[in-house]
């Protein structure tokens, strides 16, 4: 049983159920260029950090510059995002932690302004003490930002729980010496997540079994 005082949340694929949105956005770019689309299994297997490594699987970045990809993806994402994309169980878990007086932060590779906009739009902003996102569309280092936030707001690494959907979130927790729970409903495959040895769950609702 984990008794965290600080919760470090990932955003995309963890708080926001947007994997199909991302896949549709990527496939829009492929269709536009007359290229074969990819399926969900391929998408999840290609996910990597930095995100440019993902696109190396499907584009020649010398022919399609990453800046162009990032701009087109952002447009496609906004086109496909549903009215209420909040992950099942997210609000309940956020409320549980808030009522217990936990410090809650988002640490994401997405652009900070887009996260703030999404949180307001989807009714989640009130739950967070801090939001840390990348300064540009290239998704800056989550690890260095997490370390800085931990130093400032958390007394001990044992007080921290990282909740995410990718191997990178586990790497953040490992660098911090923190606990970690990974969600299979996000952007990376269960097989990849299970290689970390972290707790792996299919739903945010399951996390209540591991915390108090």
Alpha-carbon distances of 119 from 82, 111, 128, rounded to whole Å: 14, 13, 9
Do 113 and 189 fall within a single domain? Answer: yes
Alpha-carbon distances of 14 from 37, 61, 186, rounded to whole Å: 25, 28, 6
Do 49 and 140 fall within a single domain? Answer: no
Structural domain containing residue 51: 19-80
1 in a structural domain: no
129 in a structural domain: yes
Q: What is the pLDDT along the chain (212 residues), one digit of tens a residue?
A: 889 999 999 999 999 999 999 999 999 999 999 999 999 999 999 998 888 999 999 999 999 999 999 999 999 999 999 999 999 999 999 999 999 999 999 999 888 999 999 999 999 999 999 999 987 544 458 899 999 999 999 999 999 999 999 999 999 999 999 999 999 999 999 999 999 999 999 999 999 999 98
CATH of the domain at 123: 3.40.50.1000
pLDDT at residue 140 in the model: 53
Do 23 and 13 fall within a single domain? Answer: no
- Helix axis angle, 142-153 relative to 167-176, nearest 10°? 40
Do 113 and 162 fall within a single domain? Answer: yes
Do 138 and 149 fall within a single domain? Answer: yes
Do 118 and 134 fall within a single domain? Answer: yes
Nearest partner of 186 among 57, 11, 46, 8, judged by Cα? 11
Do 11 and 94 fall within a single domain? Answer: yes
Residue 4 is encoded by which pair of tokens? Answer: 């965290």
Phi, psi of 77 (to 5 degrees): -60, -45
Phi, psi of 14 (to 5 degrees): -120, -65
pLDDT at residue 212 in the model: 83
Q: How far from chain centre, in Å, is Cα 187?
A: 8
Phi, psi of 107 (to 5 degrees): -125, 110
- Whole-number Å distance between alpha carbons of 40 and 144: 30
Do 128 and 115 fall within a single domain? Answer: yes
Do 41 and 108 fall within a single domain? Answer: no
Do 136 and 175 fall within a single domain? Answer: yes
């Amino acid at each position: 049983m984990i008794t965290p005082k600080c919760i470090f949340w990932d955003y995309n694929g963890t708080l926001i159920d947007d994997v199909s949105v991302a896949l549709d956005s990527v496939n829009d770019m492929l269709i536009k260029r007359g290229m074969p689309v990819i399926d969900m299994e391929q998408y999840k297997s290609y996910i990597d950090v930095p995100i440019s490594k993902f696109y190396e699987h499907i584009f020649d970045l010398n022919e399609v510059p990453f800046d162009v990809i990032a701009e087109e993806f952002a447009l496609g994402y906004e086109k496909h995002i549903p009215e209420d994309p909040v992950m099942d169980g997210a609000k309940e878990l956020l409320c549980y932690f808030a009522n217990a007086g936990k410090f809650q932060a988002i640490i994401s590779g997405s652009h900070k302004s887009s996260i703030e906009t999404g949180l307001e739009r989807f009714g989640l902003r009130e739950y967070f003490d801090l939001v840390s996102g990348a300064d540009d569309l290239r998704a800056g280092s989550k690890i260095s930002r997490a370390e800085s936030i931990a130093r400032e707001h958390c007394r001990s690494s044992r007080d921290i729980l990282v909740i995410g959907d990718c191997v990178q979130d586990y790497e953040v927790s490992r660098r911090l010496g923190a606990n970690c729970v990974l969600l299979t409903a996000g952007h990376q495959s269960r097989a990849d997540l299970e290689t970390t040895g972290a707790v792996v769950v299919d739903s945010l609702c399951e996390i209540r079994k591991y915390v108090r």
